[in-house]
Amino acid sequence: MSILVDKNTRVVCQGITGTQATFHIKRSLDYGTHVVSGVTPDKGGEMHLGLPVFNTVKEAKAETGANASVMFVPAPAVKSAVKEAVEAELDLAVCIAAGVPLKDMLEIKAMLKGSKTKLIGPNTPGIITPGEARLGIFPENIHHRGKVGIISRSSTLTYEAVIETNRANNLGQSTVIGLGDDMMIGMDFIDTLERFHQDDETKAIIMLGRLGGTFEEDAAAYYKSLKKKKPVIGFVAGDAIPFGHKMGYAGDVITQGHISAQDKKDAFADAGIIVVNGINQIHEELLKLFPTK
């Protein structure tokens, strides 16, 4: 099993004719992802990468049965792209663009509330279920099917965590999700923790946090409240940064720099999450949880 995406996910790419979309959708197709169509306004009726292109997501869904979208559109166009995905009642939308205007994100959050659509991102490398589906820009060659779920707010460190699961007797990954680096995002740690706990294949979870916002504290409180828990290993980036130093993370606006990495780690530890102080310690903790493959 997996969460959110698998070999049966039918993917539409919004902005498919762009340079980056072309590059990454070709890689996803080569990986075996079931990409069924693309959407680019005013290019409906064309073919691109052997896929039909439609003017709207609704048209693409009606013709191809798409139930998920990966968006390669510029930040100013994200609000319109999400609106299309929501109105087409897709299950999932993945937004790669960084720096979506805060006003737009507030409107996007309002659109998503009560809708069928879940949003990953913006500013995310996407989601990958190894061997089944890749929606985004993940380097697919490092991923191997396994039993560790990974949730991250730090895009680059996600790849390091993937490698750590491979170092631990090649435990591999069930699904890997980059939540997004912007101040406001769609799905969060709680959304994904809940799903990983419902997935029989996922035996342990890695959570990668960072400075800015209160996503980690909220997740810790949720995890602490669970009666049946899978083991979670937590890491928070930014511990070496002096307290009060301006990181430049948009999410740090919320807390005005008054929540340190140590505060987040303390919340993790209090909830029963296994806290590591370095990414390279993750495989050591995994080996303690799973001495043999």
DSSP the chain: --SS--TT--EEEETTTSHHHHHHHHHHHHHT--EEEEE-TT-TT-EETTEEEESSHHHHHHHH---EEEE---GGGHHHHHHHHHHTT-SEEEE--S---HHHHHHHHHHHTTSS-EEE-SS--EEEETTTEEEES--GGG--EEEEEEEESSHHHHHHHHHHHHHTTT--EEEEEE--SSSS-SS-HHHHHHHHHH-TT--EEEEEEESSSSHHHHHHHHHHH-SS---EEEEEETTTSPTT-----TTHHHHTT-S-HHHHHHHHHHHT-EE-SSGGGHHHHHHHH-S--
Buried residues in 244-256 as b, exposed as e (16+ CB within 10 A): eeeeebbbbeebe
Give the chain's domains with CATH numbers: 11-120 (3.40.50.720), 144-289 (3.40.50.261)
Q: Across the 293 residues of the chain, what is the mean pLDDT of every consecutive 10-residue run? A: 94 98 98 98 97 98 98 98 98 97 97 97 97 96 97 92 96 97 94 97 96 92 97 87 45 54 94 97 97 76
pLDDT for position 156: 85
* Residue 253: per-residue pLDDT: 46
pLDDT at 240: 53
Beta partners for 37? 12
What pLDDT score was predicted for residue 293?
59
The confidence score (pLDDT) of residue 135 equals 98
Q: What's the confidence (pLDDT) of residue 260?
A: 85
pTM as predicted? 0.93
Residue 239's pLDDT is 67
What pLDDT is recorded for position 292? 78
